[in-house]
Chain A
Amino acid sequence: MATLEVRGLYKTFFPGTPDEVRALRGLDFSIEPGSFVVVIGTNGSGKSTTLNAVAGTFLADAGSITLAGHNITRWPEHRRARFIGRVFQDPLAGTSPTLSIAENFALASQRGQPRRLGLAVTRRRIAEFREHVRPLGMRLEDRLDNPIGSLSGGQRQALTLLMATFRKPELLLLDEHTAALDPRSAEQVIRLTDEIVRSQQLTTMMVTHSMAHAASLGDRLVMVHQGRLILDVTGAEKRRLRPHDLLEKFEELRRSDQLDETAAQLIRASYV
């Protein structure tokens, strides 16, 4: 059974106003357990909206979402968090700045669980958190008491990723989670992502604007355009995929009229 099943999803922002945006227009896909899906598409094509719809940032206008065997279509965001780990594009979005590293981890270790009156950070858990951050090689294991707001964006994003996967999520959602980092930190976080996803065999959706990452990471590549999937590459074909193959794919799509010329140009501009 698929981990995630999205059927006929529609979402229109500001319906019936001049600002109306039809962000999702019959989105249809499913993801097998353990699959690492890379999501690409032009600016405004609906990638983030797709991830947000799955995470429950808003409720869809029509369609259904099934995750880990539960129909979560009408579930509020905090209830879906039981199954979903998330990392946002903004490195500041995933952590609580005035709380310490240890406290942030304590919050993440209870993702989707009821919060009770037990002590959040105990000595035993500190030891556990320490072992968890040590492999980062950022010396954060000695700074667990520091407020997380005192760390750099790259460090915070790496921690957010560790936090999102501390309790194994059924689905990991990464929305351009390295786009706001400097190139070195971005590479570091991407390597960490690949390591964690592989070792825990996490079902993952990762949005990226990097052609290199789109080609080298994951076992499946999908392209969102005007709120629908228009390209889906899996298996051996995905493994063989090189950046210039992607360009050919775009060309094919253009010829078959699924992409108009301006969109094709936009894609080339943002991925090459």
Chain B
Amino acid sequence: MTLLLGSWTIGLILALLALGVFISFRIFSFADLTADGSLTLGAAVAAALIARGYNPWLATSLAVVAGSLAGGLSGLLQTRFQINGLLSGILVATALYSVNLHVMGRSNVPLLDARTVNSDLQGVVQKVSGKVESVQLLGSSVRVSDLVNLGAILLLVCLTAWLLHLFFKTSLGTAMRATGDNPRMIRALGVDVGRMITLGLMMSNGLVALSGAMLAQYQGFADVQMGIGMVVLGLASVILGQALVGRGGIGLSICGAIMGSLLFRLMIALALRAGLDPNDLKLITAVFVLLALVLPRAFQLRVKPAPAGRL
């Protein structure tokens, strides 16, 4: 039970990452590699501030701001200086590695007894419920603190998904979706495509940084290596999610990304329990994404469009 709660909590934290990757990959149809750096940036900013005694809520907010700045930089490189999207992501992520080391001051910042968003919430729940340490759930004993962590991140993910869904229904959000869909058309309708992509990447990396900040507070440390492979992990969740819900509306796709993240985490937890070597995790994730990208294409019949007639 505890294992299940733990993998769900991490799955939900990484659902924020998946939502970020969703914006770059599903809306703009490219893999934004900035996310590898901005996840760590979020964790580093939050951890460094919390370790210095700052309010954890403020620290988490600033982590989001830092992440969106990184995304904005990546967007500017791509749209103002016409650098290929993959390359601008790699450039920013590489630069962020050093930035993150500076922010943290060393390669690992522990947050063992620090006041975090999670400890704040646990305090509130304990005040309400008295000093209950654990409860019975489905026949096994579960720590209240684990439940609080899960509930809190569940709430945060739902709120984020709802806001994201609302955003994509606004005039601005609809224009952003059309930017990925048909840039030529949206430009002819008066939208600055470069600005739209930059704004989208800011939102995307803000979410990824939020994911990093929550991850650091949940696991009790930030590490300069923690972002490695995160883009691929986000892609795996988004792709898995799409397989779950199909090509529906934007709301369904957002739910899909979250479900994908949960399912992927669960699969990993089970595989690890069955004896999978943790060192192989990233290899397996990468192979999974590769297969998900290649298999549908391999089975697709290529139909040539009829030649356009001329009057």
Contacts and interface: CB of A to CB of B under 8 A. Distances in A.
A118 B170 contact: yes
B171 A117 contact: yes
A21 interface: no
B311 A210 contact: yes
Contacts of A94: 185, 188
Nearest to A56: B187
Contacts of A55: 188
14 contacts: A77-B188, A79-B190, A84-B188, A96-B181, A99-B177, A99-B181, A106-B174, A107-B175, A107-B178, A111-B190, A115-B175, A117-B170, A186-B311, A210-B311
A124 interface: no
Give the most central of A92, A95, A99, A113: most B CB within 10 Å: A99
A208 B311 CA distance: 9
A42 to B, nearest CB: 13
Contacts of B177: 96, 98-99, 103
A88 B178 CA distance: 17
A152 B182 CA distance: 17
B229 interface: no
A173 B191 CA distance: 18
Interface string B154-183: 000000000000010111111101100110
A209 B310 contact: yes
A99 B184 CA distance: 15
Interface stretch (A177-185, A193-201, A216-224): A177-185
B120 interface: no
A266 interface: no
Contact of A110 (B167, B189, B308, B311): B189
A48 to B, nearest CB: 13
B263 interface: no
B133 interface: no
Given A81-B187, A117-B171, 12 more contacts: A78-B187, A93-B184, A93-B185, A94-B185, A95-B185, A99-B178, A99-B181, A107-B189, A108-B189, A117-B170, A117-B172, A179-B309
B189 A116 contact: no
A153 B37 CA distance: 43
A112 interface: yes
Contacts of B181: 96-99
Contact of A96 (B172, B185, B193, B310): B185
**Which 4 residue pairs of A and B lie closest in terms of their CB atoms, listed nearest first?**
A81-B190, A112-B190, A96-B178, A120-B174
A78 B193 contact: yes
A46 B169 CA distance: 40
B184 A182 contact: no
B186 interface: yes
Contact of B171 (A95, A110, A209): A110
Given A98-B177, A186-B311, A210-B311, A81 B171 contact: no
Interface string B186-217: 11111111000000000000000000000000
A104 B311 CA distance: 28
Interface string A67-90: 000000000111101101010100
Which among A78, A82, A103, A115 has the greatest number of chain B C-beta atoms within 10 A? A115
Contact of A121 (B169, B178, B185, B187): B169
Nearest to B177: A99
A110 to B, nearest CB: 6
Contacts of A104: 178
